[in-house]
Amino acid sequence: MSKRIKTITRGIFFSSFLFFHHLTNAYSVDLYSLVQLNDYSSVNGLNYSYAYAINNSGEVVGESLGIDFYDDAESWPHLGLIPLKWDSNGNFQKLGFVKTEYSMFGVSGTATAINDGGVVVGQSGNRAFIWNQTNGIKEIEFINATDGSSKAIAINNNGTVVGHNDTNQYYFWDTVSGHKLLNTNNLAENTSVNISSINNNGVVVGSISSLTEARSFAAIGTQQDGLTRLFDLPHLVGSSAAAVNDLGQVVGSFTLDSSEFYYQSRPFFWDPVQGLININIPEEFNGSQISATAINNSGSVLGTIAGNQVQGFIWDITNGFRLLSSITDLINKPSDFGMAGVVVPLDINDMGQILISSPVAGKVYILSPVLSVPEPENLGMLLAGLGVVVFMQRRRKVN
């Protein structure tokens, strides 16, 4: 390649980079579209739905109140919670129930987690289940023959499920290996365990509670290595981890017993390299119970403030702390969408879609970021600038 061609190519590449960089900045995310998830059915005018997780395709899982048959052979329908999967447009798909050897007097089920492949886990009656589009719903068998119940908590993109039974044994399960119990050999006998989330690398987070010290600690670990404390602080009463992303960043909440500490609980963000990173909370929320509940792979943290009213917030290192109501006016107008004042954030995916609930109204919504269109004069200036660059490169080529 000649030097002249290299120069022209570099110029065009650099100019194109600048153009699209400015174009991307011109299209800012200051608009959010809102989709309401459909209820399963109306029961005497009562509609109720709740959700727990959203994947990167915008699919949501949860539950909805309805009347249904527990078994295809039954002739009498029952009122209960129906496990559902919704698509990004709010349309639901019924997941069904686990068929056990005994009959239930009602239906009850919930879908608690979904991975990016659309595989769902949850609980049907007292049985943990896994569901996919091809095979439908299947029971995840009990760990022990004496178990009375089992619940699937989370699933990662590798198909690893984490769950627990009624005696508080935590297990990891997949279709190939079956059950593997969490290694607790590194913990004292009087320590209780809780797991809340698993990432795609098999890292889990939750809490360990020491009966000797009468306090809990946010914890991180794997099935093989067990759980260890995430951090300790002076005056720490307790802490708990709620979620972990694929970078190993963890969010949750902690409480301090100190006269200088004015929060009932405070959110935390923990990074494997930098350790605890402060989430600055405005003074107006002194005395509130504040917790971080979800994190995506971009490091965007979602959380809840429970004070005079329940509010949601989002936080990241670049933009800091923001109320959800400050990034979209949809939440400021609850009557427009059937919300009843209180809005609770539930989950956030890597696309920036936020799952929220209005528990008073029993409704669930997906907030999706929308690129705003730049002003015509700004877009025109960008295009004109690109035209000048192309003209100059062509002139150089002629010369």
pLDDT score, position 376: 55
Q: Are 215 and 205 in contact (CB under 8 A)?
A: no
Q: Are 38 and 60 in contact (CB under 8 A)?
A: no
Q: What percent of the chain has pLDDT over 90?
A: 54
Q: Based on C-alpha coordinates, what's the Rg of the chain?
A: 25
* Helix/strand/coil for 58: coil
The pTM (predicted TM-score) of the whole model is: 0.82
**Residues 186-218: pLDDT tens digits?**
888 888 999 999 999 999 999 999 778 778 999
Q: What is the mean pLDDT of residues 369-396?
A: 56
* Helix/strand/coil for 324: helix
Q: Are 227 and 239 in contact (CB under 8 A)?
A: no
pLDDT score, position 370: 82
Is pLDDT above 60 for 320?
yes
pLDDT score, position 10: 46
Structure tokens, 201: 């690398």
Average pLDDT in the chain: 82
pLDDT score, position 12: 42
In a domain, 390, yes or no: yes
Produce one character per residue of 34-44: b if its CB has 16 or more CB atoms within 10 Å, e if not.
Answer: bbbbbbbeeee
Query: Domain residues for 385?
Result: 1-27+376-399
Residues 62, 80: Cα–Cα separation, whole Å = 13
In a domain, 209, yes or no: no
In a domain, 240, yes or no: no
What pLDDT band is residue 341 in, cutting at 50, 70 and 90? Answer: low
Residue that wins the pLDDT comparison between 308 and 125: 125
Pairing of strands 178-181, 170-174: antiparallel
Look at residues 178, 165, 174 and name the one whose alpha carbon lies nearest to residue 198. Answer: 174
Q: How many CA atoms lie within 13 A of 46 on its CB side?
A: 11
How many structural domains is the chain composed of? 1
In a domain, 371, yes or no: no
pLDDT score, position 245: 98
Quick count: other Cβ atoms within 10 Å of Cβ 249? Answer: 21
Is pLDDT above 80 for 11?
no
Is pLDDT above 50 for 9?
no
pLDDT score, position 17: 41
In a domain, 104, yes or no: no
In a domain, 21, yes or no: yes
* Helix/strand/coil for 330: coil
In a domain, 384, yes or no: yes
Structure tokens, 196: 């809340």
In a domain, 116, yes or no: no
- Measure Cα distances from 2 to 6, 7, 391 in Å: 6, 9, 20
pLDDT score, position 6: 42
